Amino acid sequence: MHGTQISLDQLPMGQSGRVASLKTGGSVKRRMLDLGIVEGTPIEALYRSPSGNPVA
C-alpha cells in the first residue's frame, strides 16, 4: 500500500501506515487528537472486534 491513502477502518490487520489527515470533526476528531493520532503518526491495525467495529 505504498503511497496509497485509505481510511483507518480499511487498514488490513497487521499492516501499518502513517496518518495523512483527519477528515472528521466534533467529538470524534477530539478523541483522535486526545489519543495522539495526528498528521504523521505511524499507526498499525492490531485487532478488530468480532462485529468489525471498533478497530484497535
Report if residue 40 sits inside a domain.
yes
Report if residue 56 sits inside a domain.
no
Domain range for 33: 12-44
pTM of the complete model beyond 0.75? no
Query: pLDDT tens digits for 12-51?
Result: 989 999 999 999 999 989 999 999 999 999 999 888 888 7
- For residue 52 the three cell numbers come to 468489525
Report if residue 49 sits inside a domain.
no
Report if residue 55 sits inside a domain.
no
Report if residue 31 sits inside a domain.
yes
Report if residue 52 sits inside a domain.
no
Distance of alpha carbon 29 from alpha carbon 40, whole angstroms:
15
Query: Structurally, how many domains does the chain consist of?
Result: 1
Statement: residue 54 has pLDDT above 80? no
Report if residue 6 sits inside a domain.
no
